[in-house]
Amino acid sequence: MTKTQKILITGTNGLLGFHLARVMSEKYILLATDIQDHSFTSGFNYRLLDISCREDIFTVCSDFKPDIILNAAAYTNVDDCETNVETAFVVNARGPQFLAEWCLQNRAKLVHISTDYIFNGQNGPYKETDTPDPVSVYGLTKLAGEAQIRRLLSNYLIVRTNVLFGKGPTEKASFVRWVVDSLRAQRLIHIVDDQYNNPTWSDDLASAVRVLLEINLTGVINYGGSDYMNRYEFSQLICRAFDLDTDLINPVSTERLALAAPRPLKGGLDISRIKTIPGIPLTPLEKILTIIKETGY
């Protein structure tokens, strides 16, 4: 396939950015970027890019001249955002704003990844048209990022997702790995049974974004896994797939964990709209876990 369009992806050392780079490199001329001075996406063009720095964005983008910018960079530590409010705001709200400013001046499309944490979690799963009401600094800053993009651009796509899992490029903690490694080491773990969402496989989401680009969708769309459940139920499925003993998992309430950031409890995303788009992958959770078991977690 001859590649003609150029895509710049931010946050490619992260879980989703890594898979987006892998999938998009098949079709587009790719520039992978992240804030850290190394790339796990070996074989790809790579440049350092801090999305909180407008000058950095304008230099790197003006050199590469992407047709599409795909923003998977974010300050994603939900609890740390409560104390590092300024950093969270600069990365999650100003970053998308600066990217949108470059896209506006250069007629590029901006694809941005957002979250169900922009909702309060009282009555999820949420539709694209539901009214946001974040309960955490992370949610507030992600909502502000969305607002900046909508204010500046018409040629944008915001893809909202929730609870990502998959095999990332680093040893950074993943929910599946944490459950499996803890239970194999005979460690007792506490998992909340009152946070509901639809766990989303990073590989499927990356492929879904490629389909959305192919049909040139604009606006806001939800993508989440096809199974809606609480975190404890998710851990039970992991145990079943990996033949692990569930006795070491202790279900607890979110309140008992006394986390720094409040969590939306009945969160997650209604995916009825994206389901109508041909070619969108929605692998059943049990099958994904079997694949992960066979290919590495």
- Residues at the interface with ligand NAP (CB under 6 A): 10-11, 13-17, 34-36, 49-52, 72-76, 91, 95, 113, 115, 142, 161-164
> Among all residues, whose Cβ is closest to ligand NAP?
14
Cα–Cα distance between 10 and 50 in angstroms, integer?
Answer: 9
User: In whole angstroms, what is the distance from residue 99 CA to residue 60 CA?
Assistant: 11
DSSP run (H or E) holding 34: strand 29-34
Q: Which is nearer to ligand NAP, 170 or 246 (CB)?
A: 170
Provide the minimum distance between the beta carbon of 26 and ligand NAP in the complex, in angstroms, as a whole number.
19
The token pair that represents 235 in the structure block? 């851990």
Neighbours of 278 (CB within 10 A): 6
Q: Decide whether 142 or 177 has the Cβ nearer to ligand NAP.
A: 142
- Closest CB 74 distance from ligand NAP, rounded Å: 3
- Shortest gap between Cβ of 247 and ligand NAP (angstroms)? 27
CA distance 116 to 108: 26
> Strand pairing of 45-48 and 68-71?
unpaired
Calculate the CA dihedral of residues 27, 280, 93, 30 and round it to 10 degrees: -10
Alpha carbons 23 and 43: distance in angstroms, whole number: 13
Cβ closest to ligand NAP, residue 136 vs residue 162: 162
Rank residues 14 and 264 by Cβ distance to ligand NAP and give the closer one. Answer: 14
The residue among 49 and 285 lying less far from ligand NAP, judged by its C-beta, is 49
Least distance (Å) between residue 216 CB and ligand NAP: 21
* Closest distance to ligand NAP from the beta carbon of 151 (Å): 18
